[in-house]
């Protein structure tokens, strides 16, 4: 048994429901390792699990989808890892990353290359693999395309904008302030639109000569959904991957036909990295663009584990940019 500190949810609600518990961690079971966390990623999906928007099976439950750390002990039948290995994970193993240590399935862990620090891995893996999924597999973006990226100064947004620019795409991005517009521009967004000052649909149409864009990547949801459809070319695709403003309202599917035979998809990273080979390939692609300098990781906020509630408040108030971390200590 090992003593750990873990942030858990005993009742659904706002950031105040996050509670630090002292727990006994048993020895790792078959196929597991005990992983001591050195850095924990904070993602918007964590707020959905806390509030119940995306309900987890039972209360109380852990929270957090992403972390990096060091292997401290091996369970039976684990042969591909060794004590002392640096590893990371994202979108696997169930919620529970907000902790000093946990037992974790070895087959879902990603070995870290020499040039990738624990903090960078914890900051980038979930958001980076999400960006990889979106722009390379959900809608393979080609050089010369123009795309619309909502929340271009957010965690996924800053990574996706850089990667899209690296691929040779022109990036139109929505942001909430002039400061975020400058940040997005510095990270590959060619045309930031401050949506609090001007509606984005006419601006997108203006920037594309009236044609619209072939794809919209949207993590905002309710407040951007319908207008995003009006930004698409005929047979364009709306890719929704988050609900920062809430779930979009139900709509008549006939609208997709009326607006130009549009496509709509709601991918999750988990289904795109279910197979181990897909998981490792996606992570390798993320690490490769970082190693080559095409994508730079901005870690702009850090909190100790005990201040997880403060981190969630900042995230939901749109007061963060780039990546945020909890440091277990």
Q: Tens of pLDDT along 131-163? A: 999 999 999 999 999 999 999 998 899 999 999
Reading the chain (329 residues) residue by residue, the pLDDT tens digits are 799 999 999 999 999 999 999 999 999 999 999 999 999 999 988 999 999 988 998 999 999 999 999 999 999 999 999 999 999 999 888 899 999 999 999 999 999 999 999 999 999 999 999 999 999 999 999 999 999 999 999 889 999 999 999 999 999 999 999 999 999 999 999 999 999 999 999 999 999 999 999 999 999 999 999 999 999 999 999 999 988 888 899 999 999 999 999 999 999 999 999 999 999 999 999 999 999 999 999 898 999 999 999 999 999 998 887 789 999 98
Could you tell me the domains of the chain? 2-124+289-327 (3.90.180.10), 143-266 (3.40.50.720)
pLDDT reported for residue 165? 98
| Per-residue b or e along 39-58, where b marks 16 or more CB atoms closer than 10 Å to that residue's CB | bbbbbbbbbbbbbeeeebee
What does each C-alpha distance from 271 to 92, 96, 107, 129 come to in angstroms?
A: 10, 19, 16, 12
The model carries a pTM of 0.89
CA distance 176 to 152: 9
- Evaluate whether 41 touches 325 at the Cβ level (below 8 Å): yes
pLDDT reported for residue 320? 84
């Amino acid at each position: 048994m090992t003593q750990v500190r873990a942030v858990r949810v005993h009742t659904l609600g706002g950031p105040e429901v996050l509670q630090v518990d002292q727990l006994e961690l048993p020895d790792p079971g078959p196929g597991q390792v005990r992983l001591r966390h050195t850095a924990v990623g904070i993602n918007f999906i964590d707020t959905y699990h806390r509030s119940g928007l995306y309900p987890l099976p039972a209360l109380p439950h852990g929270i957090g989808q992403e972390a990096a750390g060091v292997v401290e002990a091996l369970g039976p039948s684990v042969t591909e890892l060794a004590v002392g290995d640096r590893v990371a994970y994202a979108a696997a193993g169930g919620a529970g990353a907000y902790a000093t240590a946990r037992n974790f399935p070895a087959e879902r862990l990603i070995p870290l290359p020499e040039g990738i620090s624990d903090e960078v891995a914890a900051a980038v893996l979930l958001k980076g693999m999400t960006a990889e999924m979106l722009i390379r597999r959900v809608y393979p973006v080609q050089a010369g395309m123009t795309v619309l990226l909502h929340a271009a100064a957010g965690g996924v947004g800053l990574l996706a904008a850089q990667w899209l620019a690296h691929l040779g795409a022109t990036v139109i991005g929505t942001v909430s302030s002039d400061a975020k517009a400058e940040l997005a521009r510095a990270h590959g967004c060619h045309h930031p639109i401050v949506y609090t000052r001007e509606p984005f649909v006419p601006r997108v149409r203006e920037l594309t000569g009236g044609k619209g864009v072939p794809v919209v990547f949207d993590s905002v949801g309710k407040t951007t959904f319908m207008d995003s459809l009006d930004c698409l070319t005929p047979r364009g695709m709306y890719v929704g991957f988050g609900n920062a403003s809430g779930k979009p309202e139900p709509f008549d599917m006939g609208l997709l036909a009326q607006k130009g035979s549009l496509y709509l998809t709601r991918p999750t990273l988990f289904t795109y990295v279910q197979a181990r080979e897909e998981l490792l390939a996606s992570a390798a692609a993320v690490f490769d663009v970082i190693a080559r300098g095409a994508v730079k990781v901005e870690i702009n906020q850090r909190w100790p584990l005990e201040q997880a509630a403060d981190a969630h408040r900042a995230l939901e108030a749109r007061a963060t940019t780039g990546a945020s971390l909890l440091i277990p200590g």
